[in-house]
Every structure is written in structure tokens, then in C-alpha cells.
Amino acid sequence: MHEETASALSAFDIAALLVVASALLGWFNHHFVKLPHVIGLTVMGAIAAIGLMVANAFIPGITLDDWVANTLQQMNFTDTLLQGMLSFLLFAGALHVDLDRLKVAWLPVLLLSTVGVIISTVLVGLAMWGVGMMLGLSIAPIWYFVFGALIAPTDPVSVLGVLKEENVPKSLQSAVAGESLFNDGVGIVIFIILLGAAISGKDFSFIEGAELFAIEAGGGVMVGLVFGWIGYRALASMDEYALEVLITLAIVMGGYALCSSLHISGPLAMAVAGLMIGNQGVTFAMSDVTRDYVIKFWELVDELLNSVLFLLIGLEMIVLTVGGDVLVFGLLAIPLTLVARAVGIFVSTKTIPAARLQDKGAGRVLWWGGLRGGISIALALSLPPGETRDLILAATFAAVLFSVLVQRATLGRLIEKLKDEHAPAVEEDKAQGSPIPPPA
């Protein structure tokens, strides 16, 4: 009993370990490996995990892998990730979306982030259910749809860096960021609803699910509008950068706490609030000095959280039991999620004339640039421990790793190819940019 207490780590100890490990691996990657930061942390986290397992197998008395596994198991991922961290990530991402440019493509963005997410969730769920039956896996069918919901959201941070480097039009950058932002919020709501049904063991009802979605999503949007307006008025009433940064932090933490107590979507609320602060607040309520501090503060928060998440998904390999079935399940998740994404984009942008993407090449950029990232990792890590979690973690790891290592690495080539074809969607835009430049 004493040994268990002594070996237990506090929340601060765990946070310190993650931040220190992220910093050390990030420094090593920057100086020696020289991969893009997020890619480097993912790869090095996985290499560290493999190294610990090899050391444990060949060096008697070495139990570092067991220690890391126990440390990971002590973390309450549901409280830490699902109930807080996602709101910070979505608020930070929303600050970089140009609302004026987004209005031009509001219908395709709306359909992509709602209809597209639902289609992707259903198709991935059905396909992975088929894979599970083929492999003889004995898990409830609804868990396949839980995976479909958590892998549907896309991460704009990595892809926006590539789009900026390639000088694609700001309108396409805003469409990609806007779709990613809202499909994150919608995907999280669907995930929470499906996860609740999966854990309770009750039969899932589409009518009840739709009602819960309307309440959670609608309530989240309303709270986001209210907190965004209050924050805007507070920011406009002063010119004190330290206090204004604190106000933006209060919007996220206070708004999320209220959403938690009301049982509505905190992440979606913070996405809406971030849009308001990133557009109205930055343009009309902040001085140049304050704007610089606010944007850099939230870029740092976003970078830190993504660094920790990508390190965690690499280290989680230690606690995964990677057998043949798990490996096949994970590898098949890669093409199936890509096909589902393609179908979701096609249906969302082709069936309604007004929602069609006018510029040639935009659909291909949206498809291949639909990178999975920190949001999917956070949702997967928040699942309850067990065999089902291991399967879903393996599939998430495979899809995210492919997304980061292959899609992100080749997106620039796709854009160059489209430019050679003179595709309007990627032709360089000389117009002035958005109120907040995309993150580097």
C-alpha cells in the first residue's frame, strides 16, 4: 500500500514530465532530426516507446516501459483532455479564421462541417464494423461509430502552414480553417453522444441523438456568442495588454465551466467565441501591442498542447497490445478514412448547386489537406481503458501518423501540381490578408 502511494504521481508531476519530455525531444528534433515540430514529436515519441520496450526485453532489471505505462494509466484523460483541453485548442484555432472571407464560402463550409462529418462518421463506422466482423472482433458495433466520430474532425494548424508557404489564396485558407474549426466542434458533439450510448450499453436512438445534438450544439453556440460579446466589450473598454490576455483566458475557462454545468458543448462555444474575438475583437477592440501579445499567447498555448498530445500518442504505443488483429485494424483505418472523407466532400459540395466549390482544385486540397491531429488524439485518449480502447487507439494512431507523415509532407507537391495545371483555387492571391495571419 505504501509503495503504491509512493509511486503515484501528482497531476503537477505528470504535467511537468510531459512538458519537459516535449521540450527535450523538441530540442533534439530541431537540432539533429530536423523534422517539422509536430511530426518530429510524434515520431520521436514512438521511437522512445519502442526503445523502452526493447530495453525492457533485453536488459534484465530495466522496467522503464512499465513505469511509463503506469504513469500514462494514472492520467485521467477524460477530465484532462475531453473536459478542457479541446476548448483551448478550438479557441486558439478560431482566432486565425477570417470571418469576412469565410462568409463567401459559408454554405460549403457549413455542409462540410455538418453533413460531411455525419457522412464520414457513418461510412467509417460501417466500414470498420465490417473489418471487425472479418477479424472476428467481439466489440459492440456502436464503438466503430465512436471511432468514426473521433477521426472525422480535421486539424487546420499543420495544413495552414503549408498553404501559407505555397501562397495559396486567403479565401482557400479561410475555407480550410473554417471547415476544420466547425467540423471539430460538430465531431466532438457527435462523439460525446455516441460515447455516452456506448458506455451505457443502451440502444442508440437517432431521434434522441438528434435532440441531444440540437441541445448541445445550439446551447454551445449561444454561450459562445454571449461570452464572445462580453469579451469583446471588455477588451474594447481598455488598452492594457496583460489584462486583455487574461480576459481571453477567462473567456475560455469561464465559458467552458458554464457549458459543463449546463451540459452543452464547451468546445463549440469556444470556437464561436474565438471567431468573435479573432475578428471583431482583434480589429476593433485591440491596439497593435495587445493584438501581438494575444495572438502570440494563444499560438504558444496551441503549440504546447499539440506538442503534448502528439508526444502522448507516441508513448501510448507502450500500453498497446499490438497483435495481428490490432495491426490490421489500424492499417485498414487509413484508406477507409480517406475514402469516407472524399465521399463527404463530394456529397457536401456537389449535390447542392449553391454549395459547389467554384475553383478547380479546391476539392482536392480539402480532401488531401484534411489532416487528422490533436483533436482526434485527445478524443481517443479519453476513452475508458480496455481492449476496445486499444483497438481504437491503434486505428487513430495509424490514421494520424499517415496524415502527418504522408499527407502533410506531400500536400505542397499536390498544390504545385495544381498550379502547373493553372487551377484557380491555388493561384497566388495578391490581396491583403486576414486580420490575423495564419500560424507559421
Q: What is the pLDDT of residues 372-410, one digit of tens each?
A: 877 788 788 888 888 898 899 889 988 988 988 888 888
Q: What is the mean pLDDT of residues 306-326?
A: 71
56 three-state secondary structure: helix
Residue 26 is predicted with a pLDDT of 85
pTM above 0.85, yes or no: no
Task: Give the pLDDT score at 226.
Answer: 95
d(CA 97, CA 106): 12
DSSP 383: S
Q: How far is CA 267 from the centre of its chain?
A: 11
What pLDDT sits at residue 358? 63
Instruction: Provide the pLDDT for residue 60.
Output: 66
pLDDT at 429: 54
Alpha helices of 95-205 — where are they, by DSSP H? 99-104, 106-135, 142-151, 156-165, 170-200
| C-beta separation of 286 from 294 below 8 A | yes
Cα four-point dihedral sign 135, 139, 142, 148: negative
Q: Hunting for cell 496524415 — which residue is that?
A: 403
Cell 492571391 belongs to 429
Integer Cα distance of 109 and 183 in angstroms: 9
In the predicted model, is pLDDT for residue 326 greater than 90?
A: no
Count other Cβ atoms within 10 Å, centred on residue 393: 22
Q: What is the pLDDT of residue 194?
A: 92
CA 71 from chain centre, in angstroms, equals 24
In this prediction, residues 3-29 reach a mean pLDDT of 74
Q: SS3 helix, strand, coil % of the chain, rounded to 5?
A: 80, 0, 20
In this predicted model, what pLDDT tens digit does every residue of 150-176 receive, in sequence order? 999 887 666 776 777 778 887 787 778
Residue 301, C-beta contacts closer than 8 angstroms, at least 6 positions apart: 88, 92
What b/e sequence results for 294-329 when a residue is b if at least 16 CB atoms lie within 10 Å of its CB, and e otherwise? bbebbbebbbebbbbbbbbbbbbbbbbeeeebbeeb
Rounded CA-CA distance 182/172 in Å is: 15
Q: How confident is the model at residue 438 (pLDDT cuts 50, 70, 90)?
A: very low
pLDDT at 2: 43
Residue-averaged pLDDT of the chain: 82
Q: For residue 71, what is its C-alpha cell? A: 504513469
Mean of pLDDT values over 24-37: 83
- For the segment 14-23, the average pLDDT, to the nearest whole number, is 82
Which is higher by pLDDT, 304 or 356? 304
Residue 356 has pLDDT above 80, yes or no: no
- Distance (Å, whole) CA 246 – CA 249: 5
For residues 294-308, give the mean pLDDT.
86
> How many whole angstroms separate alpha carbon 365 and alpha carbon 239?
40
Give φ, ψ of 132 to 5 degrees. Answer: -60, -40
Weakest mean pLDDT among 117-126, 320-329, 332-341: 320-329
- Which helix (H) or strand (E) segment holds residue 292: the answer is helix 288-315
CA angle 47, 51, 57 (to 5 degrees): 145
**Cβ of 403: how many Cβ atoms within 10 Å?**
25
- In angstroms, the CA 242 to CA 202 distance is 49
Residues 6+ apart with CB under 8 A from 181: 90, 93, 94, 97, 113, 156, 271, 275
pLDDT, tens digit (0-9, with 9 covering 90-100), for 213-272: 889 889 999 999 999 999 999 999 999 999 999 999 999 999 999 998 998 888 889 989
Which residue has better confidence, 116 or 48? 116
For the cut 70, the answer to whether the pLDDT of residue 73 exceeds it is: no
* DSSP category for residue 95: T
Q: What is the mean pLDDT of residues 195-220?
A: 84
Condensed to tens digits (0 to 9), the pLDDT of residues 276-290 reads 998 888 888 899 999
